[in-house]
Amino acid sequence: MRFIFALIWILAWSSVRAEDLYVPKFNEREPWTPYIVELLTGALARTPGATPDRWHWVETRMTQDRALALLRSGKELDLYWSMTSAPREQGVLTVRIPLMKGLLGSRLMIIRKDSVDKFSRINSLDDLKRNIAIGQGLDWPDTAIEQAAGLRVVTSSSYETLFQMLKAKRFDGIALGVNEIDDELAKQHDAELVIEQHLALSYPAPVFFFVSPRNPALAERIEKGLLLMIKDGTFNALFDKRWRKAQLINHMKGRLVLPLSNPLLSPETADMIRQHPEYFLFAPARQGH
């Protein structure tokens, strides 16, 4: 009987002592979420804490900026992931290892079929500025990057509305990451929309894990675990399982690539990019920091 009571006490103590981890729930807009979670679980498994992790999935159907505000408060989220910017890195702990090898910064466009000839006549960044309007999400860092480069950008707070606006000719194309473009076009089931084949925008746009300032131990575990995964090849294996590298490279082949500066980078992130070009599938343009 004493043994049973002791076992119950140990189990109860272990349950109380478990490390609660509040993580964003799967988002259909980001079909790579399972890949990100695999990276996270792999990193944490390689760097176990003093107590087990107990995961809680938090609904994050909100703007990215709102989710990061919750993260800073430390009340509803322990971590979040998104494309980085200097403002987004303020007030949180940033794990500066690009989770998607910078793919969101290699940007192609979904356009209407009736715009194919219009895009084929673009031969420079100045041509693009004069003749093309691009659709982007209101709070995406891409929006500020493209506007800073002098491009005409039309925004929407609703991702789904962007496609309605494209069909209504409010702008000429929706710029998406090379890793997103096929999936997003397929979701539309619209034969009048196609992937533009002539141009690509390119800028450094790493996706990072951001961790609540209340949990520095978690940030340290994630960073150490990801570095171990890079060293043992697991990181690359997960990336290759999620995306066909040959298809990504083929998408970029033969295009006129227009490099843009990313003025949103923090000095620390710009320095990481200079020191670790091997973290990226496509080498990012040099930045002025």
pLDDT classification of 66: cutoffs 50, 70, 90:
confident
- Looking at residue 24, its pLDDT comes to 85
Read off the pLDDT of each residue in 172-185 and give the average, rounded to a whole number. Answer: 94
pLDDT (tens digit per residue) in 17-51: 567 998 888 665 677 888 999 999 999 999 998 88
Put residue 189 in one of left, alpha, beta given phi > 0 → left and psi -120 to 50 → alpha.
left
Q: At residue 287, does pLDDT exceed 70?
A: no
Strand 53-58 versus strand 19-24 pairing type: parallel
Alpha-carbon gap, residue 182 to 248, rounded angstroms: 10
pLDDT classification of 285: cutoffs 50, 70, 90:
low
- Looking at residue 11, its pLDDT comes to 42
CA proximity to 174, closest of 202, 143, 147: 143
Q: At residue 105, does pLDDT exceed 90?
A: yes
pLDDT classification of 239: cutoffs 50, 70, 90:
very high
Three-class SS state of 17:
helix
- Looking at residue 59, its pLDDT comes to 81
What ranges do the domains of the chain cover?
2-101+207-245
- Looking at residue 3, its pLDDT comes to 39
- Looking at residue 150, its pLDDT comes to 97
- Looking at residue 75, its pLDDT comes to 78
Alpha-carbon gap, residue 213 to 233, rounded angstroms: 30
- Looking at residue 76, its pLDDT comes to 85
Q: Which CATH fold topology does 2-101+207-245 show? A: D-Maltodextrin-Binding Protein; domain 2 (3.40.190)
Q: At residue 201, does pLDDT exceed 60?
A: yes
- Looking at residue 184, its pLDDT comes to 92
* 79-83 β-sheet, strand order: 79-83, 207-211, 93-95
- Looking at residue 29, its pLDDT comes to 63
- Looking at residue 18, its pLDDT comes to 66
pLDDT classification of 7: cutoffs 50, 70, 90:
very low
**Residue 8 CA: distances (Å) to CA of 52, 163, 276:** 17, 56, 50
Q: What share of the chain in percent tops pLDDT 90?
A: 72
pLDDT (tens digit per residue) in 113-170: 999 999 999 999 999 999 999 999 988 899 999 999 999 999 998 888 999 999 999 9
